[in-house]
Amino acid sequence: MEKYDYSLMAPGPVNLHPEVRKILSEPMIHHRTPEFDHILAQTLKKMKSVFQTEEPVYLLTSTGSGGMEVLLVNTLSPGDQVLCLVSGKFGERWSQMAKTFGLIVDEIQIPWGQAANIDEVKTHLQKKSYAAVLTQACETSSAVLHPIQKLGELIQQFPKTLLLVDGITALGALPLPMDAWHIDGLVGGSQKAFMLPTGMSFVCFSKKAQGYFETSKIPKFYFDIRKEKKANESGETFFSSNVTLIKALNFVLDEILKKGLSQLFQENQRRSDFTFYLMSLLHLNSFSHSPSSSLTAIEMPAGIDGQKIRSDLEKDFNITIMGGQDQAKGKIIRIGHMGYIQDKELLQLAEGLYEVLTKHRCVFKIDKKTYLEKLKIWLEKN
């Protein structure tokens, strides 16, 4: 068997661009230098294009969850009622986080694999006054994409309610224009669609959300965005800057903007389409009824343990994907489409899946040679 180069095709962290790997190994520079000031200014400006916003974007040295916290603690106060859409692991996390800060949380429980129902959200909003609605754009545990544009249109009709969106596996991977869709708080993460190592999150607030900075009473110090806003306005970060990752981010943003957002989104969509084609050849089904183009969750055939498929793919093929979490553990595998992925790696993944599933006694009508031929032709055509 051919020895494959290692490939990280999880829904975050993801494969790094070769140039990013080089930047990460450059000598450290100090953050209070003209050289870094220039990089920071450029990066902050370019980030606005990715968020598709006129408002300032903030760079945080924290993982994505820290960014989720920033959205809550800068706009809300203990005792505020919030409506949390819980459609998987990350919805559960945000709900718990909100409770930790003294928010009164009503949950809309959405079965794993399903997207939010706008009418149900509307009914809740008409019954009670909520300070915020919390939702994932893409719920990574089930690969579900939620109807954010529609939620934005709905929530816009409630002048006191904020739409706070965890876009960690969506922003930079698929269309999520902050201003046009009336999103009030949006967070992205470095190790997902931004193709960087773990360790940074990115947040932005609408004008409406910024209006709550002064009245929000949740205690905060490190995550008080007012300090960062002031520092950014004078060309600095408030705390020590994450120089290394910001340098790499600056490069990634250049690549993204050179390519254009629509082309970038199209590349993720193509990898998603490829995966769906592969599934159709093997008669495998999507777990998500509203699939996100940033990752695909494949249902395992009866009797097949997804955890074993995942670990054998890693052991035998040097490719890392993810299994399911909690109630989906063993039942699904999840393949990420974000990051630096070449066609060669898509074919390796396809071959690996065929082999590993066969090893676990899956029987396919299509033989491996025909299957790989069809996939190669698909890649050439699409």
Q: Which residues bind ligand PLP (CB under 6 A)?
A: 12, 63-65, 90, 136, 140, 166, 168-169, 189, 192
For the bound state, the minimum distance from the C-beta of residue 63 to ligand PLP, rounded and expressed in Å, comes to 3
For the bound state, the minimum distance from the C-beta of residue 167 to ligand PLP, rounded and expressed in Å, comes to 8
C-alpha to C-alpha distance for 141 and 143, rounded to whole angstroms: 6
Q: Which of residues 161 and 169 has its CB atom nearest to ligand PLP in the complex? A: 169
Assess contact for 91 and 111: CB atoms under 8 A. Answer: no
For the bound state, the minimum distance from the C-beta of residue 37 to ligand PLP, rounded and expressed in Å, comes to 27
Neighbours of 150 (CB within 10 A): 14
For the bound state, the minimum distance from the C-beta of residue 120 to ligand PLP, rounded and expressed in Å, comes to 21
For the bound state, the minimum distance from the C-beta of residue 199 to ligand PLP, rounded and expressed in Å, comes to 8
For the bound state, the minimum distance from the C-beta of residue 200 to ligand PLP, rounded and expressed in Å, comes to 9
> Considering all CA atoms of the chain, what is the largest pairwise distance in Å, rounded to the nearest integer?
64
Q: Which of 343, 346, 329 is nearest to 275 (CA)?
A: 346
Q: Which of residues 86 and 362 has its CB atom nearest to ligand PLP in the complex? A: 86
C-alpha to C-alpha distance for 178 and 57, rounded to whole angstroms: 11
For the bound state, the minimum distance from the C-beta of residue 260 to ligand PLP, rounded and expressed in Å, comes to 24
Tokens representing residue 126 in the block:
């008409």
Q: Which of 255, 204, 217, 186 is nearest to 17 (CA)?
A: 255
Q: Which of residues 87 and 348 has its CB atom nearest to ligand PLP in the complex? A: 87
Assess contact for 216 and 74: CB atoms under 8 A. Answer: yes
Q: Which of residues 36 and 90 has its CB atom nearest to ligand PLP in the complex? A: 90
Instruction: Determine whether 263 is exposed, middle or buried from the number of CB atoms within 10 Å of its CB (0-12, 13-18, 19+).
Output: exposed
Tokens representing residue 367 in the block:
């033989």
For the bound state, the minimum distance from the C-beta of residue 201 to ligand PLP, rounded and expressed in Å, comes to 7
How does DSSP assign 11-29, residue by residue? SSSBPPPHHHHHHHTSPP-
Q: Which of residues 90 and 223 has its CB atom nearest to ligand PLP in the complex? A: 90
Q: Which of residues 200 and 313 has its CB atom nearest to ligand PLP in the complex? A: 200
Q: Which of residues 169 and 250 has its CB atom nearest to ligand PLP in the complex? A: 169
Interhelix angle 89-100/64-73, nearest 10 degrees? 40
Q: Which of residues 166 and 345 has its CB atom nearest to ligand PLP in the complex? A: 166
Instruction: Determine whether 372 is exposed, middle or buried from the number of CB atoms within 10 Å of its CB (0-12, 13-18, 19+).
Output: middle
For the bound state, the minimum distance from the C-beta of residue 110 to ligand PLP, rounded and expressed in Å, comes to 14
DSSP state of 328: G
Interhelix angle 368-381/343-359, nearest 10 degrees? 160
Q: Which of residues 113 and 352 has its CB atom nearest to ligand PLP in the complex? A: 113
